[in-house]
Each structure stands twice: as structure tokens, then as C-alpha cells.
Amino acid sequence: MLQKIFSFILLAAISIGVKAQKQTTYCNPINIDYGYCPIPNFTEWGKHRATADPVIVTYKGDYYLFSTNQWGYWWSNDMLNWNFVSRLFLKPYHKVYDDLCAPSVWVQGDTMLVFGSTYSTNFPIWMSTDPKSNQWKEAVDSFAIGGWDPAHFIDDDGRLYMYNGSSNRYPLYGVELNRKTFQPYGTRKELLLLDDKRYGWQRFGEYLDNTFLDPFIEGAWMTKHNGKYYLQYGAPGTEFSGYADGVAVSNSPLGPFVHQSMPMSYKPGGFARGAGHGATFKDKWDQYWHVSTMVISVKNSFERRIGIWPAGFDKDDVMYTNTTFGDYPHYIPGTTVPPASADAIHETFTGWMLLNYNKPVTVSSTLGGYLPNNAVDENIKTYWSAKSADKGEWIQTDLGNVSTVNAVQINYADQDATFMGKKTATYHQYKLYYSVDGKLWKLLVDKSNNQTDIPHEYVALPTAVQARYIKLENVHMPTGKFAISGLRVFGNANGEKPAAVKQFIVLRTETDKRSAWIKWEPVENAYAYNIYTGIAPDKMYNCIMVHNANDYFFKGMDKEKKYYFTIEAINESGVSQRIKTIEVE
């Protein structure tokens, strides 16, 4: 009897310990309750979730996240668990679906201020000293000059500036404002235009071919570092994998500005692509991070999500964002050691590899052409859908062999959703199982009582498990059918890492130095490759993840610069050594 009591107490203690263990990792796209597209003519191919143009600021020890048309904002004390605050910032006579597009958020003294995109003269600037409690009032009832895609910046001397612009014809603008009345000193100054004839990554289109439209410059943001001013901007178009944030540098807040050759936030490959129109901020440990827009653009061109990546400045004051393995699990701020030197890219990647890329999938049912393997093809644009949202619909993925499983990400897709606008009482419920043989199943995660909206659910297991099969079973969907764009399993396959790549060739064209054709000998047991590039051997800050191919057309170069390249192979057990860096004239 005593032995039974002791065993019960021990099991209870283990259970309590597991539940109490704090999650220390996250996975992009971040898992927040994205609102559904509120604009009727933007839902012609199906109702869907959407947001973009994010800003994160730190205020009184917490992080605050604002983004386009969410009818509110989020706060967090750890950048992992986000709490939504419902709020309409527009006055009652405005159309509710236009609320707070591409907002500007800044901290002035002990006050947080918010302003949304508009050229209307009756749009207020809002202020709060208690945003967590949703306590706001008008700082001014109208901001006469307005601005689309605005960003406000407080300099070290206390002077206030605003930057704005969103156009494929006109530049970004800047102006100094009176920090009490918010009235401008003089008129706006033209600050920056794109130069896509020099910088290849600024060309419009999925393939950077400048067909259909000229490229857009938008989404200004300002960061000051070591006495220099870094004007960030989104380009060339929010619909594309190459959507990025560039940066131009000046010794003055109003210029003149000079472009950095490479985009500072760039993610053209992987499961969820794009890293444009965002903002740079510091965490509680004084480390830089960059939050920006990720692209889906299936049900509408403006179907988008949000990603967060570590950022910084090197010893030569070059600004960068580290998007390497940018949609794999990473450690959140405060859980890793800061970089050893100022020019080091601080590593936050867990090292957990994707275990089920293009592996066999079985399902309970399939709706039309929304096929099962769409859930494991590492493309957020494609998805599998069951025929219903019924409890008991399921999808099962085979990892190929027994592997160490550390985390699972469940990316829900919007198939036959009925919602529009922000819904605050919606939720997903599911059960996750694992097995070593596909016959005997054990419960891995039980969220059958969950009451929160988790469209990009990410679960890091408190203790890794050995499994070959992972099965996701639906309990409840908030709307639409049970549909998954990515059932992604992370860990280690306990096998051999891939060999290093051989015969890596970069063919840069003579007639257009912005473009190159990159080729390499395929590695037999690799499912993907990371191509690193930059304008110096120690500044290869841009990374392109390529799946199931051994060539890549790279059209994003500064035609006036030498470029440097290296590559590594990726499989379920790890990453190969990078090859010796090559120089390309």
C-alpha cells in the first residue's frame, strides 16, 4: 500500500513539474490570434486571416505588438505568450474595417502613442500610460498632415521626427514635429527612393523581373546606433517571397541617406517566406530584434502573417537580421547567452531539424484537390483539407524512422471560413499522438479543453520523445473545415549529417550584374540547402533556404559590388559543414 501511495505521489510530482516547465522557444509565424480580413472586397477567393506591418515596442517592462487592422493590439512579458487587448482606435463614423492600418507606435517619456495610416485631417493621435488596461485618450484630436505607413522617432536630444510613404512613384518622406503639439516644422523632406537598376532585390515581382508594376517603397522605420541613423523600408512588394526590409544610413535624422547594398531583413525561402515592412526594437537584455511581415498571398494578395528574428549591428556598423532557419524553433529572449562580440550574429536556433519534409501522410478524408502531402511540402501557400470540421478528422505523418521529437508546429489553413473581422471568443481544440510502430499510440499533447485561438500552434515538448509517427486529431475548429498548411515535426533523426556540398558554382551574368545562376552537385541525403551571400566574407548576412533542388536563380545583387557565397546541406539529422567561401566579381 505504501509503495502504491509513493508511486502516486511521484507521478503527480512529475506531472506538476512538466506542466510548470516554462517554454523557452518559439517558431515563426508567431502564434497569435490573427483577425480575419475585415475588408469585403479583399475576400473574393475565400475568407481568411490577415495582418501585416507590425511594430513592437518595449514599455514598462513589457512588449507591445501592433499591426494592421486587428481591432486591438497584444502585450507580452516574454515575447512568447501574447495577450490581446480589444480596441478600436478610429472614431465611430469611420469604417470599422479600416482601423489602424500600418500603425506608428512610439514611446515619448512615460507615454505610449499610436497613430494609424491616413491623410484624413480628423484622425487622432492616441496616448496611454496604461495600455495593458486599455486606458487611452486623444493626445490631439487630429493630426493635420497625416501620413501613410507612418513611423515616429524620438532622437537622443528629445526631438521628434515622423517618416512616411508608400508608393511606387514617390519617395519616403521625413519631417520634424513639435513633440507637444505634433505640428510639423516646415514641410516634409524627400529622403529616399528605390534604385532597382542598381539593387536587384528591389525589383518588383516574385522573380524580380519588374513586369506589371514598378517596385514599391513603404513601411519606414528609424533606428539610431553609434550616432548613425538607419532608415529602414519595405520593398519591392508585399505579395512576394522576396519582400524585404532594406536600410539606408545617414549622419542626420533627415539625411542624406545611402542604401546598404543588401537588404537587412530578407527571407525568400523556407516554409513561410518574406520579411518586409517591420520594425526594429530592443528586448529587456538590450539585444536587437526585428519584427516583420511574412507572405501567404493565396486567398488575397494581402494574406499575411508576422515573424520575429534576432537583429543587430556588426563592428563596422552594418545593420542585419538573422533569418537563417527563420521558421524553425528558436530560443526566445533571455534564454540564450548574448553574443561574445559586437560583430557576432547572436545565435538563437535550437538545432532541431525538420523531420517530415515530403514524408508519407495518411488522413481521415480529403476535400477535392487539397491533398494530404500539401501539409508536409514546406510551403505555407498549399494545404490539405479534410471534408469537414468534425471531431475525429485526423492527419498522420510518417517520419521514416524512429526519431527524437522535440517540438511540433500545427499551421491551420482557412478553408471555407465564415468569419470576417476580429473574433475574440474563438478557439482550436486537438489531440496529438505519437507512435513508434503506427499501431500502439500514446497521447503526446491534449488540448481538447483549450479555449484560445492558436492558428500557428507551436508546442515544444518538456521532454523529447522517440517516435516514428505523429498523428493530429481534430476536436474543434473555430470556423471552416479542418485544414493544415503545415504539420511540422522538429527534432533529430539520430542519423548521419549530410556531406558538404561539392561543385558549387555561381554564374554571374556580364550583361546584368544584379543576377546570377547558382548551381551545385546534389547531396544524396539532403532535403534542403542554405545559401549564404553578402558583400564581404564576414558579412554574409542574407540566407536563402532551397528545398528539393540543386540550383537557384539569385537576382538580388548590387551590380556595383563583389559578392561572396557559401552553402550548407540540411537533413533530418543536422547540417553539413559550409564550403569554402567563393568570391564572385
State residue 564's pLDDT score.
98
If DSSP codes are grouped into helix, strand and coil, which group holds residue 11? Answer: helix
For range 345-364, the mean pLDDT: 91
Cβ atoms of 285 and 333 within 8 Å: the answer is: yes
Cβ atoms of 171 and 191 within 8 Å: the answer is: yes
Reported confidence tier of residue 5, pLDDT bands at 50, 70, 90: very low
State residue 92's pLDDT score.
60
DSSP 452: S
Share of the chain above pLDDT 70, in %: 93
State the Cα–Cα distance between residues 236 and 244, nearest whole angstrom. Answer: 7
Cβ atoms of 294 and 277 within 8 Å: the answer is: no
Reported confidence tier of residue 484, pLDDT bands at 50, 70, 90: very high
State residue 98's pLDDT score.
63
Please indicate whether residue 3 or residue 22 has the higher confidence score (pLDDT).
22
Cβ atoms of 183 and 263 within 8 Å: the answer is: no
Q: Output the CA–CA distances (angstroms, integers) from residue 103 to 74, 100, 115, in the order listed.
A: 13, 6, 6
List the alpha helices (DSSP H) in 330-407. Answer: none
Reported confidence tier of residue 336, pLDDT bands at 50, 70, 90: low
**pLDDT for residue 18 is more than 60:** no
Least confident of 11-20, 169-178, 192-201, 213-222: 11-20
**pLDDT for residue 256 is more than 60:** yes
DSSP string computed for 16-51? HHHHHSPP-EE-SSP---PPBP--GGG-TT-B-B--
Q: What are the tens digits of pLDDT across the range 365-411?
A: 999 999 999 999 999 999 999 999 999 999 999 999 999 999 999 99
State residue 338's pLDDT score.
47
For range 180-209, the mean pLDDT: 97
Q: How far is CA 190 from the centre of its chain?
A: 30
3-class SS shares of the chain: helix, strand, coil, % to 5: 5, 45, 50
**pLDDT for residue 94 is more than 70:** no
What is the amino acid identity at position 237? G
State residue 91's pLDDT score.
67
**Average pLDDT, rounded, for the chain:** 92
For range 516-533, the mean pLDDT: 98
CB atoms near residue 570 (< 10 Å): 24
For range 430-437, the mean pLDDT: 98
State residue 333's pLDDT score.
84
Q: Using CB atoms within 10 Å of the CB of residue 81, give its burial: 0 to 12 exposed, 13 to 18 middle, 19+ buried.
A: middle
Cβ atoms of 526 and 542 within 8 Å: the answer is: no
State the Cα–Cα distance between residues 281 and 234, nearest whole angstrom. Answer: 16
State residue 44's pLDDT score.
76
Domains of the chain: residue spans and CATH: 28-351 (2.115.10.20), 354-492 (2.60.120.260), 502-584 (2.60.40.10)
Share of the chain above pLDDT 90, in %: 86
Least confident of 23-32, 84-93, 273-282: 84-93
For range 311-331, the mean pLDDT: 96
Determine the Cα angle at 574 with ends 29 and 578, to 5°. Answer: 100
**pLDDT for residue 122 is more than 90:** no
State residue 118's pLDDT score.
87
State residue 78's pLDDT score.
94
Cβ atoms of 218 and 233 within 8 Å: the answer is: yes
Q: What are the tens digits of pLDDT across the range 124-156?
A: 999 999 999 999 999 998 888 999 999 999 999
State residue 342's pLDDT score.
37
The string over 425-463, giving b where at least 16 C-beta atoms fall within 10 Å of a residue's C-beta and e elsewhere, is ebbbbbbbbbbbeeeebeebbebeebeebbbbbbbbbee
State residue 442's pLDDT score.
98
Please indicate whether residue 211 or residue 437 has the higher confidence score (pLDDT).
437
